[in-house]
Amino acid sequence: MQYANLGRTGLRVSRVCLGAACFGYVSGELFGDLGMTEEASFRLMDLALERGINFFDTADVYGWDQGIGLSESVIGRWFAQGGGRREKVVLATKVFHANSPQWPEETWPNQSGLSALHIRRACEDSLRRLGTDYIDLYQMHYIDRVTPWEEIWQAMEQLVREGKILYVGSSNFAGWHIAQANDVARARNLLGLVVEQCGYSLLSRNVEMEVLPACEAYGMGVVAYEPLAEGVLAGAFGKAKEGYRATQRVREIVERHRATLEAYEELCGELGEPPATVALAWLLSRTGVTAPVVGWRKPEHLEGAVHAAEVSLAPETLVRLDDLFPGPGPAPEAY
């Protein structure tokens, strides 16, 4: 496994990140039957460590309709088995949503957002579920347009001072939000944001307009979720022809990009690599991208991602991928 510094920090993380959104699920509205039992989640985390993956990503809200905090609780019970599990893992979780399955319909004021009160309560709850006394990377899950940055950074600074969090990151921020957050942090002599987690794949390249340039300007790492576009880039077109039953959403995406996906899978065949491997390798070739977040359900999926971190795509292959999936380019030209 290859490792990289997370943005401008000295923190070293694997070039592949284990996503834990569906840990503990058996079935539910969000993932259907794509979730993982607790036992299967344990096996996958053990395998991740065996393959050198030290970067795990979760959120306090993961659990959704089956109990907020479910994913964190599963990871906490896995840590409790000992064997140096906690010490080997760079643990990332998130704050913003209310710890209530009825959010936002049936919650009290101050149970969500990025107020100092909610940040502190949410952090304490995450620490309890995770069974640890510190979080390596605490990410703001969404922008809070109401709470001033001075209040947010005061709360984060206090948690850092207490040793409860080590680094602060963002998720789903616009480029302007990243600039605002970091400039206020600098004025307070703080490290500021060290990473942005955003949706990024061959099929979704809008972050190239402003988010990625902002991250590069402020020395931040980029962690990409949905790197396979909900499985569409993992060979969904070929599987559809073979009669594989995908979700309605995936079928719609495949139909909308049918010609492109057919050409993409033909290119992958020429390269002798699975489509998922090519999609992940392309992401890892992008400037500033630290790691894709991949939520595996089977050991072979994890092995494929580990292999992708070792694949170097030729320049002519990257050109062909750009031709198939053209990005918008940087702003303001892209507008």
Catalytic residues: 62
Q: How far is CA 42 from CA 24, 67, 83, 109, 258, in A?
A: 9, 18, 13, 36, 37
Contact 114, 180 (CB under 8 A): no
Supply the angle between the helices 149-161 and 175-187 in degrees, to the nearest 10: 60
Longest Cα–Cα distance of the chain, Å, equals 58
Q: What is d(CA 172, CA 165) in angstroms, rounded to the nearest whole number?
A: 20
Q: What is d(CA 74, CA 23) in angstroms, rounded to the nearest whole number?
A: 7
**Where does residue 316 rank: exposed (0-12), middle (13-18), buried (19+ CB within 10 A)?**
exposed
Count the alpha carbons within 13 Å of 143 in the hemisphere toward its beta carbon: 13
Q: What is d(CA 25, CA 324) in angstroms, rounded to the nearest whole number?
A: 36
Detail the DSSP E strand segments found in 200-280. Answer: 221-225
> Which residues, including other chains, have CB under 8 Å from residue 124's CB and lie 6 or more apart?
none
Q: Which of the 8 DSSP states describes residue 9?
A: S
Residue appearing with tokens 């989640």: 41
Say which amino acid occupies 196: E
Pairs from 262-268 (Cβ < 8 Å, separation ≥ 24): 262/237, 263/324, 264/202, 264/233, 264/237, 264/321, 264/324, 264/325, 265/235, 265/237, 265/238, 267/317, 267/320, 267/321, 267/324, 268/235
Q: What size, in residues, is the chain?
A: 335
